[in-house]
Amino acid sequence: MTKRVLITGITGQDGAYLAKLLTENGCEVYGTYRRLSTPSFWRLQCLEIFHRINVVPIDLADTSSIMEAVQIAQPDEIYNLAAQSFVEASFEQPIATANVSGVSVTRFLEVIRQIKPDTKFYQASSSEMFGSTGAKAKSLTQGDTLSPLSPYAAAKLYAHWITNIYRAAYGMFACSGILFNHESPLRGLEFVTRKISNAVAKIKLGLEKELVLGNLEARRDWGYAPEYVEAMWLMLQQQEPKDYVVSTGEAHSVMEFVEKAFGILGLDSQDYVKTDKRFRRPLDVECLIGDSSKARTELAWSPKTDFAELVEIMVKEDLRRWERWLAGERFPWDAPAYPSEARILTRALRM
C-alpha cells in the first residue's frame, strides 16, 4: 500500500527537499501552502517535483481548515514544517509568530487525535529554543535546558512541549526534531547564509558593490538541508516516538561564512563587507552547537557535507543563477503562480 504523507509548509526549503525525498521513496505526497494571491512554488519547481505532488491551501489559524487538509490527505504521516521561521521578524510580529509557529501545533494535534489518531506526527523544533549558552557553548542535546531569547524560539518551545504532552497523554506517535541551522541554495534571502552567498555572487558579477550585515561574531552549527530532512523521515520510521537533536557538532561564525564565501570566488571580504546595527536583533544567541549522538546511534544518521562544502554549494549555485539571469534565462520563480501541471486540491475540487 502506498504511504500517504502530508507536509505543512511544503513551499519552504525543508518542505521542498522532504517532498523530493518522499516522492523518490514512493509516497503519495500532499503539501499545504498559505493561501495568497500569488503563492510561490518555485522551490518545488526547481527540484522538478511540483507535478508529482498534491497541494492544499490551509489557514493554520483555523481548525476547520486544518481538519479539511487532513481529511483530504488521509495521511499516514504528517510533517509539520510550517512556521513563521525568521527570528528577526518574530520581534516585529510576536503575536502572529506565536499563533502560527506555536498554537497551530495544538490545533493539528487535536485534529489528529479526533479524526485520525493513528497518524504519525513530526514537529519541527529549533535549536533557538536553547537560548544563550555563552560564546563557547557546549554541545547541546535534547535533554539540555531550554531558555528561548526570541518570540520565534518561545513559540517553538510551546510547540515542542505540547507535542510531548500529547504523546504522553494520548499515546500518539508524536515526536520533535530539534534541528540546528541547516542551509541550501533554496534558503530564503532573509536568512544570513543566503544573504551572503547571493551578495557574493552579485558582487562578483558587478551587480552589487557591498554586503551589509549585523552581528558577525554569532556562531552557529550549520548543516546541509537535504541531509537534515532525511533525519526527519527516519524519526517517523522508528518503533516508538522520540525527540532527537540533528546537527553537525561544529560551530562557525558569520564572519567565517563571509570569508569562506568571498574566498571561493577569489574576492577579499574586507573590500566589500560593512556592518550596521540596524541588522542586529534585540536579543541574540551567541553560539549554538548540537550533539547529535543519539540520532547517529539510533537513526544511523550523520551529516555528510562539511561547512566548507556547504558554503561552496550555495555560492556557486547563486553565481550560476545570476549568470543565467544575465544571459536572459527564465527562473522558476518568474513562472506563473499556478503552472499547468499543478494539482491544487480543495474539498470542492474533490466533489
Task: Confirm if 55 and 35 have CB atoms less than 8 A apart.
Answer: no
Taking Cα atoms as reference points, which of 29, 34, 33, 37 lies closest to residue 6? Answer: 29
233 φ/ψ angles, rounded to the nearest 5 degrees: -60, -45
128 part of the active site: yes
Choosing from 17, 79, 122, 152, the catalytic residue is 152
Q: Which residue among the candidates 125, 126, 197, 269 is catalytic per the annotation?
A: 126
Q: Identify the active-site residue in 28, 68, 77, 128.
A: 128
Could you tell me the three cell numbers for 45?
519547481
Q: Which amino acid is at 32?
A: T
What single string gives the DSSP state of each residue in 247-297? --S--EEHHHHHHHHHHHTT--GGGTEEE-GGGS-SS---B-EE--HHHHH
Residue 107 contacts residue 129 (beta carbons within 8 Å): no
Q: Is 152 a catalytic residue?
A: yes
Active site (annotated) includes residue 244: no
What does the chain come to in residues?
Answer: 351
Q: Report, as residue numbers or ranges, the catalytic residues.
A: 126, 128, 152
